[in-house]
Structure 1
Amino acid sequence: MLESTVKINHVRKTFKSDNESIKVLEDFNLAVKYGEFLTIIGPSGCGKSTLLKLIAGLDLDFEGEIMIADKSVHGPSKDRGFIFQEHRLFPWLNVEKNIAGNLSLKDPDIRSKVDHLISLVKLKGFEKAYPRQLSGGMSQRVAIARALLRNPKVLLLDEPFGALDAFTRNHLQEALLEIWEENRTTMILVTHDIDEAIFLSSKVVVMDAKPGRIKGIVPIDLPYPRTRISKAFQEYRTVILKYLDHQDNEIEDWSI
C-alpha cells in the first residue's frame, strides 16, 4: 500500500492576461496519504478550485510536479474522479445510465457495480428516474456514484454541496462519510464551510490568498461520527478561524 496517493511538489500557477500576470499558487507543497479525507479551506481567490483542476489534469499550465500513486499528472485519467458543485448529469439518461456512462449495463460486472453504487448512495428505487425528477441532493448522489464507478485512486470534490439547503447538505455530508468509510477512497474536498471541513476530514489545510499557499494544516483528531455541538468540535473551529483571520505570514502553532 502506498504511503501517499497524492504528492504536490513546488507547484506554481500563474494566470496571464494582456496587461498583467497574477500568481494564483506559489511554491505549493502537500502530500495526501492513501485513504485520507483531506479538506482545503480558504478565502475566495486563494486557488483552491484551481489546485483541484491541476490535480485532476484539467489544467497542465503550471510549474512544479503533481504525482498520483508515484506517476506524474499529464492529463485527465480514470484514477481521478471529479465532483463539481453542479451535478452535470446527462438529462436524457436515467440514474443507472448516468452512473454507467459509456459502459454497458449489459455487462454483468458493470451491472453489479452500478447496482452496488446505487445502494451505497441510497437511491434504490430511483434507477429509472431522470435528472428532472430528482432533487439537488439526489442528483449529487448520482454524480458521486458515477465518479466512484471506475474505482478512482482519488476523488476530488469542488464544493459539491455549496448550492444545497442546510438540511440536504448535512444529510449528504453524512452519506459521503459512509461512502468514504466503506471504500477508503482518498478524498480531497474544497469548501468554504468550516463546520463541513471539521465534520468530514482527517486533516484540514488552511490556505492564504494572493498568492495561494498553505497557511496551516490542522489534523482533526476526533472519532467518527462527529457531533458539531461538542466542545472539541468547537475548539477545532476556533483554531481554523484563527488561521483564517490571522494576517501575518508567520503564525504560531495552534494545533490542539
Structure 2
Amino acid sequence: MGNALLEINQLNKSFGRSKNIVHALKDIELAIEEGELVTIIGPSGCGKSTLLRIIAGLDGEYTGKVTLAGEAIKGPGIDKGFIFQEHRLFPWLTVEKNIASDLSLSDKDVRRRVDELIELVKLKGFEKAYPKELSGGMAQRVAIARALLRNPKILLLDEPFGALDAFTRAHMQEVLLEIWRANKTTMIFVTHDIDEAVFLANRVIILKPRPGEISAVVPVELPYPRQKATPIFQSLRLQVLSRFEQTEEFAFTEGAGI
C-alpha cells in the first residue's frame, strides 16, 4: 500500500481480558483511494461497526496502524464524518440549524454552505422544519448534510438506511450516489444488504467473523447509473452472494465447534 487516502496495516482489535478475550478484528489490511465508495458486508458480529469506529477515531484501543491522508488517526475530528443508523438529529432544532450544528447561521460562510447542502440533499423548502415533521429518509438526508458540513476527507456510514422501508431505502441509495458524484467525498458504507452493497460500491469488502477478517474484496466495475434487474448486475450480485455464503458457512462451522 502507499499514497492511499486511508491506509490500515495489521489492525487487530480485542475485547475483554484473560480467558474472556473476544478477538473482534484480525490482521486487517486495507487501502481506500481518494474518491472511492466502498461497501463492507459480513455476518453480524464480524466487526464491521468496530472497524468504522476505529477509522472514525472513536476507538483507540487496538494494535496496528491506521492513517488518514498520511496522518495517524488519534481521535475524532472534522476530517471524518460519521452517520449512524438513527439520524440523531436535535429535535428542538430546525433542519438548517441541525445542519449548521454548533456553528452560527449568522456567519455568511456557514449560511452559504448550509444552503448548498440543503440543495444537494434535496430539502429545499424544508429549512425551517423540525425533525418530527420529516420522514425517515428526509431525516437521514439532514444527517448526511450535517456530516458533510466541514468537508470531511472521509464519510463513514454505519447501516444508515437499515431502518427505512424498501421504497425509501432505494430512493436514499440514489440520493447518496448523487451526493457522492457531486462531492467526490470518499465513503465507506457498512450494510447487511448485498443488493445495496453492489448497487453503491466501487468495491465490496466481505468480512468473516470470529475474528473479523477480510475474506474477499470484489471490484464492481459496472457503470453508473446501475439497474438492479439487469443480467450483469444479477451476475455480480450472485458472485458476491456466493462469497458471502462461504463466509456464513465458515462462521457456522466455527460456531458449531464452540
TM-score (norm. length: structure 1): 0.95
Give the 3-state SS of the residue equivalent to 2:5 in structure 1: strand
Q: Which residue of 1 aligns with 2:52?
A: 52
Is the aligned partner of 1:222 residue 2:230?
Answer: no
Q: Which residue of 1 aligns with 2:14?
A: 14
Question: 1:91/1:10 Cα in 2 relative to 1: closer, same or farther (>3 Å)?
Answer: same
Q: Which residue of 1 aligns with 2:165?
A: 165
Q: Which residue of 2 aligns with 1:73?
A: 73
Give the 3-state SS of the residue equivalent to 2:227 in structure 1: coil
Instruction: Write out per-residue CA displacement over residues 228-256 of structure 1, whole angstroms, 9 at most, x where no aligned residue.
Output: 0111111111111111112469xxxxxxx
Shift of 1:17: 5.0
Shift of 1:19: 4.9
Q: Which residue of 2 aligns with 1:26?
A: 26
Instruction: Write out per-residue CA displacement over residues 71-96 of structure 1, whole angstroms, 9 at most, x where no aligned residue.
Output: 00000010000000000000111000
Instruction: Write out per-residue CA displacement over residues 83-139 of structure 1, whole angstroms, 9 at most, x where no aligned residue.
Output: 000000001110000000111111111100000100100000000000111111100
Whether the aligned pair in 2 keeps the contact of 1:3 and 1:34 (CA below 8 Å) is no
Give distance in 1, aligned partners of 2:65 and 2:19.
27
Is the aligned partner of 1:205 residue 2:194?
Answer: no
Give distance in 2, aligned partners of 1:177 and 1:202.
11
CA RMSD of aligned residues (A): 1.3
Instruction: Write out per-residue CA displacement over residues 33-89 of structure 1, whole angstroms, 9 at most, x where no aligned residue.
Output: 000000000000000000000000001011101100000000001000000000000
The amino acid that maps onto 2:80 is R
Q: Which residue of 2 aligns with 1:180?
A: 180
Shift of 1:4: 1.4
Q: Which residue of 1 aligns with 2:42?
A: 42
Instruction: Write out per-residue CA displacement over residues 141-173 of structure 1, whole angstroms, 9 at most, x where no aligned residue.
Output: 000000000000000000000000000000000
Give distance in 1, aligned partners of 2:114 and 2:54.
28
Equivalent positions of 1:225-236 (< 5 A) are 225-236=225-236
Whether the aligned pair in 2 keeps the contact of 1:5 and 1:32 (CA below 8 Å) is yes
The amino acid that maps onto 1:140 is Q
Give the 3-state SS of the residue equivalent to 1:4 in structure 2: coil
User: What is the aligned-residue identity percentage?
Assistant: 59
Give distance in 1, aligned partners of 2:109 and 2:17.
48
Q: Which residue of 2 aligns with 1:86?
A: 86
Give the 3-state SS of the residue equivalent to 2:113 in structure 1: helix
5+ residue gaps, structure 1, are 250-256
Give distance in 2, aligned partners of 1:248 and 1:213.
12
Count of residue pairs the alignment pairs up = 248
Of Structure 1 and Structure 2, the greater helix share is in 2
Q: Which residue of 1 aligns with 2:145?
A: 145
5+ residue gaps, structure 2, are 252-258
Q: Which residue of 2 aligns with 1:240?
A: 240
Q: Which residue of 1 aligns with 2:155?
A: 155
